[in-house]
A and B are shown apart, each in its own frame.
Chain A
């Protein structure tokens, strides 16, 4: 299921790309973080000298040139390129390559603690849990293949990789009926992302370490769900049927809109992308949000703050992108732990304060992602007993 595309002004980016960096950088700084990240990649792609050189090569001309040289070559007389020698050389190269590698291995100073490289320590890493659905009659179903389940009241649940959809026995979208609400809970553990479509057509994206409880069929008067963790909603519009999300002790009420709720720790963030929401913290009046605004509720202090944000930056996780604005490595580590179901340890407390500003695309492979992170230069990453160790950069 594709999320609604984040707003990228391609026209503007292409225009900025034409200018020299000195001229364009103040204008680039005014773009959203997502656009800035994309622009930087476009620029790197445009300016890469190796790529520029390679693209200028004419392989057609090169082939003709090679053919000419082939005709000139006299295998018997040319000592350096005699074919017998070349075959021997080819196999020798292979051995020299391997031998050279072994020699180099013995020269590298290794830390005493038997660290493994990222590639060695994380082969076959997989999240330890499974995405689960707890149905109304208490059954827990693991969701990892296309399945169809019959719900207690005859509603068919269709399960496809990443999407859960509800249909009644006649394959129509379910309507409300009767007083009993059959509740389901979808559990997304660390290491996973998940999407689902509710019975009213509303779409929900769930981040790692999140849960959503929802009725199989919504009540006539309101559509109510409860979440833990983080979820992004695209609520099907219905003016007479309010949609309410409970998170912690807060409630967010919408009529038809797109918004994100992040409720991992003591701070609960509700960010509005489109439409209008009423955010109600416990024992306080509701706060109405407009697009590109966020309500931040602190459950310790009980205070609610509203501020302007770039809403897209808070929704990029659906594309597996991570936007960091003055994010400490400690915080980044926490996010990665959750997203990949890994454990991160710092060998030096000071490393926790390294700040990151930028955008990171989270690839499916945790080893690749950590290798990319390491290439920023200020840290070295190794693996010990399946734990990710963050070391200072000069240690190898």
Chain B
């Protein structure tokens, strides 16, 4: 399965079967939760928001008309739902008002739903990781936990440390080559 792209072709939900709809769910779920969490900073609330979106979307599939790609449509809907959640939460209301008036062009257009490059990259990264062979994916995800040494991962997966390192090497390489370097700009500080 190729890496998903935000602008992938539009989908006619009214003719989509339930099974295909479930595939759509699995394809975009993590990414949409990430997008909601950017706004809400609350994973639990984000999951609720995304699940609600998918549920309502299915309920109304006969009458919904999606003009652009599903991912683009889902992104706008989830972001708006997340903003509404924040408003209801009150706690950040004052913050919200202040930040609206100083948003840059890029930020406002992102709220209006135009996906930017970092949104696209997150989608590609998540999709690429989920497409890794099972062991490699597990090794990669385990390695992200700070207290996990390679020896621990090896024990957990029942493989040698060298195999763990090989998996990581291949996973990072895959991500780098496939995504042409994830973050284009990097600054380091030169030691005098």
How many Å lie between the Cα of A69 and that of B103 in the bound state?
36
Tell me the bound Cα distance from A373 to B180 in angstroms.
17
With A59-B30, A363-B184 already in contact, the answer to whether A50 and B122 are too (CB < 8 A) is: yes
The docked-state distance in angstroms from the alpha carbon of A146 to that of B145 is: 50
Given the known interface contacts A18-B149, A360-B184, A368-B117, the answer about A62 and B51 at a Cβ–Cβ threshold of 8 Å is yes
In the assembled complex, which residues on chain A have CB atoms less than 8 Å from the CB atom of B109? 101
CB distance from B144 to the nearest CB of A (A): 5
A396 to B146: give the CA distance in the assembly, Å. 39
Contact check, B103 vs A57: say whether CB atoms are below 8 A apart. no
Q: Is B60 touching A86 in the complex (CB atoms < 8 A)?
A: yes
Most buried by B among A20, A63, A396: A63
Would B60 and A83 count as touching, CB distance under 8 A?
yes
Any chain A CB within 8 A of the CB of B6?
Answer: no
Contact A38 B176 (CB under 8 A): yes
CB–CB A359/B144 < 8 A: no
Interface residues of A (CB under 8 A from B): 10-11, 14-15, 17-18, 20, 29, 36-38, 40-42, 44-47, 50-57, 59-60, 62-63, 65-66, 69-70, 73, 75, 81, 83, 86-87, 90, 93-94, 96-98, 100-101, 104-105, 107-108, 117, 325-326, 356-361, 363, 368-369, 371-373, 375-376, 396
Bound together, the chains give a CA A86 to CA B58 distance in angstroms of 12
Q: Find chain A residues with CB under 8 A from B173 CB.
A: 10
Contact B144 A41 (CB under 8 A): no
- Kindly list chain A residues whose C-beta atoms are within 8 Å of the C-beta of B63: 87
In the complex with contacts A14-B168, A396-B104, A97-B111 CB distance below 8 A: yes
A98's nearest neighbour on chain B, judged by CB, is B112
Provide the bound-state CA to CA distance between A369 and B60, in Å. 40
A53 to B126, CA, bound (A): 11
Encoded as 1 (CB less than 8 Å from any A CB) or 0, chain B from 151 to 192 comes to 000000000000001001100110110001111111111110
Question: Is the beta-carbon distance between B29 and A69 smaller than 8 angstroms?
Answer: no
List A contacts of B149 (CB < 8 A): 18
Q: Closest chain B residue to A40 by CB distance?
A: B186
Tell me the B12-60 residues at the A interface (CB within 8 Å): 22, 25-26, 29-31, 33-34, 37-38, 43, 47, 50-52, 54-56, 58-60
Task: For the complex, give the distance between the alpha carbons of A20 and B145 in Å.
Answer: 11
Complex CA gap A364/B97 in Å reads 38
Judged by a CB distance under 8 angstroms, whether B115 is at the interface is no
Which 5 pairs, one residue from A and one from B, show the smallest C-beta to C-beta distance?
Answer: A101-B112, A358-B187, A59-B29, A54-B34, A66-B51
Q: What are 16 A-B contacts defined by CB distance under 8 Å?
A: A41-B176, A42-B172, A53-B37, A55-B141, A57-B33, A57-B43, A69-B51, A86-B56, A90-B77, A97-B113, A101-B108, A101-B112, A104-B101, A105-B108, A108-B108, A325-B190
